[in-house]
Amino acid sequence: MNNKWEKYIHATAEKPPRPLLVEATTFVANRGAALDLGAGALMDSRYLLEQGYDRVIALDADASSAECAKDISSEHFSFVHGTFEDFDFVPDTYDLVNAQRSLPFVSPEEFDQAISSVKSSLKTGGIFCAVVFGDRNTLPQVHTMLTREQVEEMLSDMETIKLEETEIDKESALGNPTHFHEFHIIARKK
C-alpha cells in the first residue's frame, strides 16, 4: 500500500496480542476457524494459533503484512493478501472474527456491506471482536468514524458482551500526537 503502513507494521511487530482479543477468546465456545481482518504485523494471528484454533486466516492489503506471514509456518495458518472489499466472506464459517482498528479504513460507501459480510461469516454463537473509531478521533486518513448510536445500531442484531467507549490523547504507533476516540466491542452472533 504505502510507506505509512510498512512503518506501522514494523513498529507493532514485537507487540503482544491485543488485550481485547485475549478477552474475546474467553467467550469462544469452539476453536475452529478464526479470521483476523487487517492483520498487520500478525501478533493477533500468532496468538490465535497459540490458542489452538484449527484454522487461522489473516487478511491484509499491505505487502509488509504479507512478508510477516512468511515467518509463520503452520498448516493451520493462511494469509490472504487483499482488501475487505475483495475478500470472500463465506457465510457461517468463523468461530471468531477479529477486526481491531481495521474497519475504520473501509470507505463509508462500503462500510455497511463490510459489516454485513463480517457478521454473516460468523457461525451462530461466533464472537466478533473489534475496535472501531468514534467520531471525535483525529487519526488522519480514517474513512469511517461512528457515533455511539451508529455502533449500537451495528450491533443491534447481536448479543453485546462488551461495548466500551474510550477517549485518550496519546502518540500513534508512528509517533504522531492523536486523540483516540474508540469503541471496543465483543459481541456474539445470535
> All domains of the chain, ordered by start, with CATH?
3-189 (3.40.50.150)
pLDDT digit string (tens) for the chain, length 190 residues:
456 566 666 655 577 699 999 999 999 999 999 999 999 889 999 999 999 999 999 999 988 888 889 999 999 999 999 998 899 999 999 999 999 999 999 999 999 999 999 999 999 999 999 999 999 999 887 899 999 999 999 999 999 999 999 999 998 877 889 999 999 999 999 9
Residue 139, pLDDT score = 85
- Cα 172 to the center of its chain, rounded Å: 17
Q: In what order do the strands lie in the sheet with 77-81?
A: 77-81, 55-60, 33-37, 94-100, 122-133, 177-189, 158-171
User: Is there a contact between 119 and 151 (Cβ–Cβ < 8 Å)?
Assistant: no
**Per-residue cell: 161:** 458482551
Q: What is the pLDDT of residue 140?
A: 81
pLDDT of 26? 98
C-alpha cell at 163: 461495548
Model-level pTM?
Answer: 0.91
